[in-house]
């Protein structure tokens, strides 16, 4: 067989063999929205509550769940963090393979001390990230996330409207899932377990 005919044969084999190979390995079915291959929300560079610079690379080997919120949030944020604490508990021996990150959309009031106490109320391993106003604006744009200050009766009694979904990364730091608020603990546990299993 000459080189030209070999290349044609090899190419045809790849085309035929590719789909067959794919059939032998079932694609995981996720509860959250599958974002595999998304070309945004790929990384960040923010300081945590201890002032330590953080990026996604710091958490390689773990499934990362990233959420935008603020400490004085009355319902969505504490509900989500409480659910994530339950998810971690239900992972059992794999609990250390989950990392929850909380990006505050209220850096004016969410000081390092406030965020340490807030994370500690749910799980001391959860990491708070505190952007500058400029970093927050840039990150929200990159993540297609929403936040807006809602004025209160006094200058310090304002609230924050914000996106309520979570971004889930696999153990290699790739964005894989978009979990809408209120999806529940069990579906999240299943999705995290599936990503851990993929490695």
Going by the annotation, the residues of the binding site for Cu cation are 73, 77, 162
Helix (H) or strand (E) holding 69: strand 63-69
Separation between Cα atoms, residue 141 and residue 197, nearest integer Å: 31
Give helix 76-90 / helix 185-198 axis angle, nearest 10°: 50
Separation between Cα atoms, residue 103 and residue 118, nearest integer Å: 12
CB 151 within 8 A of CB 158: yes
From the annotation, which residues make up the binding site? 73, 77, 162
DSSP state of 51: S
User: At residue 176, what are phi and psi to the nearest 5 degrees?
Assistant: -120, -35
What is each CA distance from 193 to 31, 88, 126, 184, in whole angstroms?
12, 11, 18, 15
Per the structure block, which two tokens stand in for 94? Answer: 């794999």
């Amino acid at each position: 067989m000459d080189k030209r005919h070999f290349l044609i044969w090899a190419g045809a084999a790849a085309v035929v063999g590719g789909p067959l190979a794919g059939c032998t390995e079932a694609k995981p079915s996720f509860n959250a929205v599958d974002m595999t291959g998304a070309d945004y929300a790929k990384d960040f560079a923010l300081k945590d509550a201890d002032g330590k610079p953080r990026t996604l690379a710091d958490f390689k080997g773990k499934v990362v769940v990233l959420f935008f919120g603020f400490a004085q949030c009355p319902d969505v944020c504490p509900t989500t963090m409480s659910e994530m604490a339950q998810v971690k508990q239900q992972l059992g021996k794999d609990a250390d393979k989950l990392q929850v990150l909380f990006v505050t959309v209220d850096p004016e009031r969410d000081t390092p001390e406030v965020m340490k106490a807030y994370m500690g109320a749910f799980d001391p391993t959860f990491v708070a990230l505190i952007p500058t106003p400029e970093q927050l604006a840039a990150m929200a744009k990159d993540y297609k996330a929403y936040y807006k200050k809602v004025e209160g009766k006094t200058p310090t009694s304002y609230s924050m409207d914000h996106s309520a979904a979570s971004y889930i990364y696999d153990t290699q730091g790739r964005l894989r899932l978009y979990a809408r608020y209120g999806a529940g603990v069990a579906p999240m546990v299943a999705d995290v377990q599936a990503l851990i299993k993929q490695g």
